[in-house]
Homo-oligomer: A and B are copies of this chain.
Amino acid sequence: MTGILSVAARGEREPLAVASETTGAELEEIVARAARASRVLAEATRADRARLLRALADALESDADAIVAAADEETALGAPRLTGELARSSNQLRLFAEVLEDGGYLSATIDHANPAAVPVAVPDLRRMLVPIGPVAVFSASNFPLACSVPGGDTASALAAGNSVVVKVHSGHPATSLACAASLRRGAELAGFPADIVSLVFGTAAGVQLVKHPSIKAASFTGSVPGGRALFDIAAARPEPIPFFGELGSINAFVITGAAIAERGDELAAGLAASFTLGLGQFCTKPGLVLVPAGADDFIASLTRAAAGVAPGTMLNPRIRGGWAASIDALSQAEAVTTLLAGLGTGEGLAGVSLYSMPASAVLERGADSPAFEECFGPSTLVVTYADEEELTAVLALVPGSLTGTVHATEAEGAPGTLASRAVALLSERCGRVLWNQYPTGVAVTWAQQHGGPYPATTSSASTSVGAASILRFLRAVAWQNAPAALLPVELRDDNPTGVPQRVDGRLS
């Protein structure tokens, strides 16, 4: 009964109206259906859930043209990038099918009874992880496919055995509708209820969703203020729920003098490509580049490379406005030099911007320095360090981040070097530490870690990308002295589905 959503669209286009905000009564009905669907998922075998995930991937692929067209209309990201994103969505659904078939994620653990144990007898105990219940997913503005309706949060929550209710991002409602239709059709083809995935629209519905007693966990990708507000709501519930928020990240990027001497131009080109990829609208964008003082040729080379990147249309006017305000503040901060002032705020286009300041000026203001403020868009800040002491002092102030990167020579990849100390410092405050590569682009694999200490995320133990992201949506149960017929198959001695089991302390 509320207004039509306004939809951010490319350039000067009119917003696209596709959905009303979800009312309170509608949300109740959606969550009730999701709770029933969650029970079906939880009771399904892992093999059936794996089949479901593959059916969802197939459905997305068969609807790819329509989905990519809708997403391009709403986000201006272009068909090549969006086609890649959709491939990533289906690939990660298929990865989770493998995760399910493997079954190691359950941490199935069996201790047989030991009546002779000292000081007291030990009973038969069998522990594993089970689905947590319906999950609220807040989708991201910057990845309308891979971090939205058919994204990693949805895939991992479904794999874990929970239904998903997605709070649609206002930037791409038509894309979200197209994706949900595809997933729901895929679910039914696989014999599951369509309601394993459903959508709600509007900020108020999002808040109501996080507060709903049937929702048992939530995930979020977005800004620090928005994510923190939802985290606070989740924590303040009568029954608090885990809230996996990915909020903001500065992504320090350290370059040694030896690396510049060895391959300065190549590095400048690579870094310029990385911080401008997707017009800098990546949560892993390198936002703080640490370069030795005196590396003027490198900075000139970086400036030239960045100047060669064409201006473009950002995801939506709100994001462009936020970026313009943040680079405006940065450019006016003390000791900051503007190396490249992109087209900035005019005409709906954003052009690449580049700034520099000496580490001494950063250290003067400490943790409050503007160097540690994320600027979400095609810009970065070069900070020049006079010596190792300045470098490590700055690194010690870097806020919790998704990534930290070190570029050095092969010879510096050994204990005792400045580069090794930078790696160690970054591993204390980042979820992923890269060596001689670029942080933008997050592979969906078993060993990926996309997370980090606050404010990168609200849960530094978890990842939102990769196989381990399934662990966010599980809880633990142990059965004591239970008859085999009442145990989950994964905890039976005969282990009919062949999952990894730890039996009496030993992994089998």
Bound form: Cα–Cα A242–B235 in Å: 11
Contacting pair B468 A449 (CB below 8 A): no
**A203 on the interface (CB 8 Å rule)?**
no
Give the shortest distance, in Å, between A230 (CB) and chain B (any CB): 12
Q: Contact at B111–A446, with CB atoms within 8 Å?
A: yes
> Once the chains are docked, how many angstroms separate the CA of A232 from the CA of B236?
7
B478/A433 in contact, CB under 8 A: yes
CB-based contact B478/A109 at 8 Å: no
| Contact A447/B478 with A130-B427, A427-B130, A437-B123 known, Cβ cut-off 8 Å | yes
A471 to B129, CA, bound (A): 13
**In the complex the two chains form, is A461's CB within 8 Å of B482's CB?**
no
Interface membership of A475, Cβ < 8 A = yes
The yes or no answer to A327 lying at the interface (CB within 8 A) is: no
Query: Judging by beta carbons under 8 Å apart, are B468 and A433 in contact?
Result: no
Given A119-B88, A482-B433, A476 and B462 contact (CB-CB distance below 8 Å): yes
Partner of A481, one of B235, B435, B446: B435
Contact, CB under 8 Å: B478 / A448? yes
Q: Which residues of B contact A232 (CB under 8 A)?
A: 235-236
Q: For window 97-150 of chain A, which residues contact chain B by CB distance below 8 Å?
A: 98, 102, 104, 107, 109-111, 117-120, 122-123, 125-127, 129-130, 132
Closest to A400 in B: B239
Residues of B within 8 A of A98 (CB): 505
* Residue contact B433 to A84, C-beta cutoff 8 Å: no
Q: Contact: B410 with A125, CB < 8 Å?
A: no
Nearest 10 pairs of A and B residues by beta carbon: A413-B483, A449-B478, A235-B235, A460-B475, A125-B447, A109-B447, A127-B447, A111-B447, A434-B480, A87-B119
22 A-B pairs whose Cβ atoms sit less than 8 Å apart in the complex? A102-B505, A120-B443, A130-B427, A132-B460, A232-B235, A235-B240, A239-B455, A242-B461, A427-B477, A430-B477, A432-B479, A433-B477, A435-B483, A435-B486, A437-B481, A449-B477, A449-B478, A460-B476, A461-B474, A462-B476, A463-B476, A468-B476
